[in-house]
Structure formats: C-alpha cells, structure tokens
Amino acid sequence: TCAGSGREGLQMKGPRAGWAAVRAIRAGSFLKSMVPTFGALALQLVTFALTARGLGVEAFGRYTALVAIVGVAVELIGLGSADLLVRAVSVDAERHRRWLGTVLLWSAITLPFVLIGGTLLATGPLLVDIAWGHVAMALSGEVLQSRSLASVELILVAHRRVTAAAWVRSAVFASRLVLAAMVFGVFRAASLEVWIEMVLLQSLLVTALLWWWIGREHGSPLWAGHWREVGQGMGFAANQTARALQGNMDRMILSRYAEASALGAYGAATRFIQLGLFPIQVVTRMLYPRFFQHGVEGAAAVWRFTWRTATPALLAVGMLSGAGVALAGQLAPWVLGESFRAVVGTVALL
C-alpha cells in the first residue's frame, strides 16, 4: 500500500524525506483523513475554549485533575484487547466479529474496577475538591466515551477505513462542542457539577451510538473470550499506560499540591500541547496496522518501514503541529480570558 511496492520504503534523504514518507502512507487516504482530522482539532479547540471560559480558571483546574486520571484509566480498560483486535484484523478481516466480542467483554469486566480505583485516587491521595459522586460521574462519562472512540477508531483503521475513522472522531468532538455551547452559551450554567452531569449523559449516548454503528458496519460481536491472549493484551496495555502516565502524571501530582487556579492555568497550557500532539496520534494510528502487516515478513521489514516511512512522516507532521502550538499559546488570553494569561509563558516553556 506504499508508493511502488510498499516494501522497499523511501530511498531519499534530507528535508524532502518527511513529505515523501507522508505520501507513501497513501497520499489519497492521508489527505482525505487529515481534512476531518484538522476539523476535529478545531472542534476540540473551540470546545476547550468554551469550557475553560465557562467554568473559570479554578473550576477548570479541579476538572483538569479528573481529566488527567481519565487519560491513564482509558488505557487500562479492556487490557489491550483493542490492540489485539488490530493485530488480528489487519491480517485477516474475518476475525473481526470474534475479536469485537472480546473487546466488549474484557472492557465490561475491567471498567468497574478502573472507575472505582480512579474515584478512590481522586478523592483520596489527590485531594480533588469535588464530591465523590460527581467524581464518579465525571470519570464514568469521560472514560466511556474516550475508550469507545479509541476502540472504534482502531477497528476502522484495522479495516483500512482511515477516512471513516477521521469522520467518526470529528462527529464525536462535534457532539461535545454542541453540549458546551448549550451549557455555557445558551443556558449560562457555570457550575462544574452541572457540566459533569451533562457530560455523563452525552457520553452514554455517544458510546451507545458508536458500538451500535460499528456492529452494523462490520458485523455484530461473537462472544469469544480469547482468554489465552490476556498476557499479550496486558503487554499492550502496559505500554499504553506508561505513555499515558508520562503525559498525565504532572497534573495528577499538581492536583494535590497546587492551588486550583494554578492547576487550571497549567492544565490549559498542557491542553494546548495535547491538541498539538493530536495530528501525530492520528498519523500513528494510520500507520499502526502496517507494522503488523510488515511483521509477517519479519523484523527486518518492520525496521525498514519504521525508518524509511513511519519516522519521517511523524517528524514532518510533528514539526507542523509544533508551529501551530507555538502560535496558539500566544492567543491564550484572548481565547480563554484574562484569568488564563499565565498560560502564555507556560506553553512556551512546555
């Protein structure tokens, strides 16, 4: 599926290698998917701005701590079953229904334990100043939607439906934007508790629609446990959890020791950084099934694909994203309000 044979990789070196690598992913599917991807990025930015302005810096700081927990909790749900599905389906699409059942089964088993652990962590060691009931509601809503969206995206990419995955992502982000506009723009509700309750309702609806739609598109699940694969799934989950901890541990620790206003400003700054990482994550997911396809030919084929295609493509997209983050950080007071002026210097340092 790369340019030419797809197995030889890119021979050129230098500045042009990055763009050539992007084209090698499949120029048509890449460009088609990046249009809704940057649309989703814009939707996220507007939703973030509405939420931050609507809640205020202190309430946004308290919510930031919960979002950091969500970032880690999402990777524990399902014990890596979605990654195992990608590995299986990218090689043999007929295995989709059995692995879809496994993803749903493992997720249902692990979800209650993760939510209970996250609630205890937030209300205990992290001292998040939100009633435990609303903590549980916030974690439930955010984790359900985030895990469901990530799994459905991986399923679509495994079936080589990269553009469809991008549009699904945009639709989910658009639904959150509509919610933020209604809560903060129409009803002028600045209460964090009201926002959490509305997010839970929206997340439940979106989660149900996502799984219904993917079942209609690729077949209903067959309830196969694949229990012998749990060890390998936990390996995927451990890797993803380590990555998530790296990106969220700072806000979790600061939630205990920093004032809510300082955490709010820092959380807003890291949100700008996360938005900049979003296009890189999209390209990573586009490339992800290809590693398994090349892996059939052995480690040497994987290394060729990694260094000649994947690395230059990620570098090219990363440079563009970095420039966008640098510009967006300078606009923080205008976008978020004067109470977030500290975000400018924080984004520059991060």
Q: CA-CA distance, 221 to 214, in Å (whole number)?
A: 10
The yes-or-no verdict on residue 322 having pLDDT over 50 is yes
Tokens of 185: 């723009």
The yes-or-no verdict on residue 29 having pLDDT over 80 is no
Tokens of 186: 């129409």
The yes-or-no verdict on residue 282 having pLDDT over 80 is no
Write down the number of H helices and E strands in the chain: 13, 0
- CA neighbours closer than 13 Å in the CB half-sphere of residue 131: 8
The yes-or-no verdict on residue 73 having pLDDT over 60 is yes
Helix (H) or strand (E) holding 80: none
Q: Report the SS3 class of residue 267.
A: helix
Tokens of 84: 């195992």
Total residue length of the chain: 350
| Averaged pLDDT score across all residues of the chain | 84
- Band the pLDDT of 32: cuts 50, 70, 90: low
Residue-level pLDDT at 34 = 64
The torsion angle over the Cα atoms of residues 107, 109, 113 and 119, rounded to 10 degrees, is 50
Residue-level pLDDT at 31 = 61
Q: Is the pTM of this model over 0.95?
A: no
Q: CA-CA distance, 163 to 315, in Å (whole number)?
A: 21
Residue predicted with more confidence, 263 or 18: 263
**What angle, rounded to 10 degrees, do the helices at 192-218 and 162-180 form?**
150
The DSSP line for 88-126 is HHTT-GGGHHHHHHHHHHHHHHHHHHHHHHHHHHHHTTT
